[in-house]
Amino acid sequence: MSIGTHRPTVITVDGDAIRHNVAAEIAQLNPDSELFAVIKADGYGHGMTHVAKYAAEAGATGFCVAILDEALTLRAAGFQQPILVLGIVEPCYAQLIADQKISVAVGSQAWLAEAISYLKGNTVVRVHLALDTGMGRIGFQTPEELHAALDFLTGHDQQFDFEGIFTHFATADEKEQTYFETQLQRFRDFMAVVPRKPRYVHVANSATSLWHQVCDGNMIRFGVAMYGMNPSGRLLTVPRVIHPAMTLKSALVFVKKLPRGRSVSYGATYTAAADEWIGTVPIGYADGYPRCLQGFHVLINGQFCEIVGRVCMDQFMVRLPEKMPVGTEVVLVGESGSQHITMVDVAEAAGTINYEIACGFSARIPRRYV
Ligand code: PLP
């Protein structure tokens, strides 16, 4: 992937915002609780190792990632803290996991049994048992299954360190709480068969930590809110101030007067109703700026300017209020004058969630850290 350092499209990541969001969350936790920063998917598009550094500076004591490669990248970058892989890693990597002192989510006894066959020498695999209380993704299905796996772990304590146990809520970001309560009860039913709690018991993502007084745990997996984004979009109000960390800006690279009746972009879906000033912005759907955003807007000099015509792979066009010079700043996510465009604004216009927009910005857009 060639990074576009020679075009004026840049993501800026504000380290102070991340530090603030982490510190503010830690201040709300029980004193015996820890915060693990969720930095999978390249730190939700913000840049994994940079976010890891900011989060650690603000008090995060560990990290969560989705895949083994992300954990290995963190280790290679020198991070010594606990790292938990939240997804299932194939058992054939058990020795690598052990050597690198990485912790992994395990959702079945079969995984443990298979992993043993790949272990050589005197190393242990750190496991966090995943409990499926209603997410339906990974994890033990019943307390009986869990009980059997715990027995297995007890019999194989030279190979495994039972370091954690956790679940994940499917509806923590919604107003309706019935499903959440059902999951919580199932979690407690599971925990009733655990004779000795492991070091980490964790149930909370951002939404659970922000909106549920769940005290079943001593660690939270803090993701989207660390980046200053509301996990619920606009549905629920975040009970403390969080600062968005990501800004996306570009600049006009071409400006022209389009005569009335002439059209713009593929499909000729926009036709100028009058003579209009049209600017071209060098970012498109190959950068993760969704193709469907025709009719949405950007900010130029504090004014909303409509996206006209289809967003192309690498460029799109906007209608300008007047002639503007090439090089004029274009704000796609962030502030301009007294106006702003949030990640949720973009997400709603694209029919998705803020998470998907942030982590969808491609590696072609350079990240600048301030
Ligand atoms: N825990 C698990 C198991 C996850 O899959 C995720 C993210 O998807 C998180 C925690 C972090 O969630 P959030 O970004 O909503 O805080």
Q: Is the pTM of this model over 0.95?
A: yes
pLDDT at 365 exceeding the cut of 80: yes
* Per-residue pLDDT, 138: 98
Whether 227 is catalytic: no
**Tens digit of each residue's pLDDT (9 = 90 or more) over 82-115:** 999 999 999 999 999 999 999 999 999 999 999 9
* Per-residue pLDDT, 157: 95
pLDDT at 137 exceeding the cut of 80: yes
pLDDT at 215 exceeding the cut of 80: no
Tokens 């923590």: give the residue: 172
Protein residue whose Cα sits closest to atom 13 of ligand 1: 223
pLDDT at 358 exceeding the cut of 90: yes
Higher pLDDT, 166 or 122: 166
Q: Is the beta carbon of 43 within 6 A of some atom in ligand 1?
A: no
**Residue % of the chain over a pLDDT of 90:** 98
205 alpha carbon – ligand 1 mean position (Å): 5
- Which contacts (CB < 8 Å, 24+ apart) does range 23-31 have? 23/58, 23/59, 24/240, 24/241, 24/242, 25/209, 25/220, 25/222, 25/225, 25/226, 25/240, 26/58, 26/59, 26/60, 28/209, 28/240, 29/209, 29/220, 30/215, 30/218
Task: Give me the interface pTM, i.e. the ipTM.
Answer: 0.99
Q: Is the beta carbon of 221 within 6 A of some atom in ligand 1?
A: yes
Q: pLDDT tier at 122 (50, 70, 90 boundaries)?
A: confident
335 alpha carbon – ligand 1 mean position (Å): 27
**Residue % of the chain over a pLDDT of 70:** 100
Mutate to test the pocket of ligand 1, among 63, 221, 235, 246 (most ligand atoms within 8 A of CB): 221
Q: Is the beta carbon of 85 within 6 A of some atom in ligand 1?
A: no
86 alpha carbon – ligand 1 mean position (Å): 9
Whether 197 is catalytic: no
208 alpha carbon – ligand 1 mean position (Å): 10
Q: Is the beta carbon of 171 within 6 A of some atom in ligand 1?
A: no
Provide CB contacts within 8 A for 254, sequence distance 6+: 279, 280, 326
Q: pLDDT tier at 213 (50, 70, 90 boundaries)?
A: confident
Q: pLDDT tier at 121 (50, 70, 90 boundaries)?
A: confident
**Tens digit of each residue's pLDDT (9 = 90 or more) over 323-337:** 999 999 999 999 999
- Which contacts (CB < 8 Å, 24+ apart) does range 232-237 have? 232/173, 232/174, 232/207, 233/173, 233/344, 233/347, 233/348, 233/353, 233/354, 234/344, 234/348, 235/173, 235/174, 235/175, 236/173, 236/175, 236/207, 236/210, 236/211
* Per-residue pLDDT, 214: 80
Q: How far is CA 270 from CA 286, 288, 318, in A?
A: 21, 22, 11
- If residue 230 lies in a helix (H) or strand (E), which one and from where to where? none
Q: Is the beta carbon of 153 within 6 A of some atom in ligand 1?
A: no
Q: pLDDT tier at 364 (50, 70, 90 boundaries)?
A: very high
d(CA 346, CA 11) in angstroms, rounded, equals 15
Catalytic position from the list 93, 101, 120, 266: 266
**Tens digit of each residue's pLDDT (9 = 90 or more) over 62-71:** 999 999 999 9
pLDDT at 30 exceeding the cut of 80: yes
pLDDT at 77 exceeding the cut of 90: yes
